[in-house]
Amino acid sequence: MTNPMTISSDGSRIYEAVRPTFPYKIKVGPFSYNVQVSDTAIMAHAENGGGSCDAYCQPYKMEIVLKASCVEDRRRELLLHETLHALCDLVQKRALGFDDYDEEEKMVATLAPALLSVLRDNPDMVAYLCSS
């Protein structure tokens, strides 16, 4: 992706950073997940027995919810983390060897920040992988 360019009054080129829009809908396999950013939904999830968390994925509702009060970098990692949970559900956890949620959570919690780092540090690789 190239940044838009503005020409200033003195003729110099100024590049403006392009801030990507937040993805309120993502595709995981053949499914479209709605992505919410809501402290209220996070609190309700905890009150209904979901436990204290910064985000959660509900594959049966095709929904990912992220805590609004998290800083942007944390929210990015959480989105990837919950997307990995959605992928685990898609390929069926037992096929991956997960018998319970704790095993899946341990793998996802370990993999998400490392994967996000690789994606951020290698934009040419990401562009290559995403090209058709």
pLDDT in tens, 39-81: 999 999 999 998 899 999 999 999 999 999 999 889 999 999 9
Q: Report percent pLDDT > 70 for the chain.
A: 82
Q: Report percent pLDDT > 90 for the chain.
A: 51
pTM: 0.77
Name residues whose C-beta falls within 8 Å of residue 31's C-beta, 6 or more positions apart in sequence: 59, 62, 86, 90
pLDDT of 56 reads: 96
Is 21's pLDDT higher than 90?
A: no
The tens digit of pLDDT for each residue in 113-124 reads 999 998 999 888
DSSP string, 1-59: -PPPEEE-TTS-EEEPPPPPPP-SEEEETTEEEEEEE-HHHHHHHIIIII-S-SEEEEG
Average pLDDT on 16-22 reads 72
pLDDT of 131 reads: 82
Average pLDDT on 83-90 reads 90
